[in-house]
Amino acid sequence: MSNLGDDSELTILVNLDEDAKGVVQMLIFDREDGFPEVHENAVSKNTAKVENGKAIFNFENLPQGTYAVAAFHDGDADGKMRKTLLGIPKDAYGFSNDARSKFSAPSFESAAFELSTGKNTINFSLKL
């Protein structure tokens, strides 16, 4: 688990298509349980407006530790990922480390990164 009170800053840059509109919805997890879509298990839920093909998230005073991020493009800003009847995403989505898995969401481990004291920056892209 993480230590509270650390002076950690995290900037997350999410890349999308240049013509993308709307917002990006993001969940940050500090453990495998619930990753990537159980909102109640996320340590943070955030929304950022898409501008010029990017969404930027900034966090201060996050505890040091291991985290993984899941995000999707919410073009109509309704807070819901659109899926087909088979559960296949219709909205672009992505994970920290640009982690991907062929037939399911990637594991927490493959998307995990270490947050250390000071300024930290990660970036990844949203794709279908």
* Mean of per-residue pLDDT scores for the chain: 92
pLDDT, position 6 = 59
CB neighbourhood size of 52 (10 A):
8
Do 45 and 26 contact (CB within 8 A), yes or no? Answer: yes
pLDDT in tens, 28-76: 999 999 999 999 999 999 999 999 999 999 998 889 999 999 999 999 9
Give me the DSSP letters along 52-106: TTEEEEEEESPPBEEEEEEEEEETT-SS---B-TTS-BSS-EEEGGG---SSSPP
Identify the H or E element spanning 110.
Answer: helix 108-111
User: Across the strands, what pairs with 58?
Assistant: 11
Do 46 and 28 contact (CB within 8 A), yes or no? Answer: yes
The pLDDT-based confidence of 4 (bands split at 50, 70, 90) is very low
- My answer on whether omega of the bond before 36 falls inside 30° of 0, hence cis, is yes
| pTM beyond cutoff 0.75 | yes
pLDDT in tens, 72-85: 999 999 999 999 99
Do 47 and 75 contact (CB within 8 A), yes or no? Answer: no
Residue 2 scores a pLDDT above 80: no
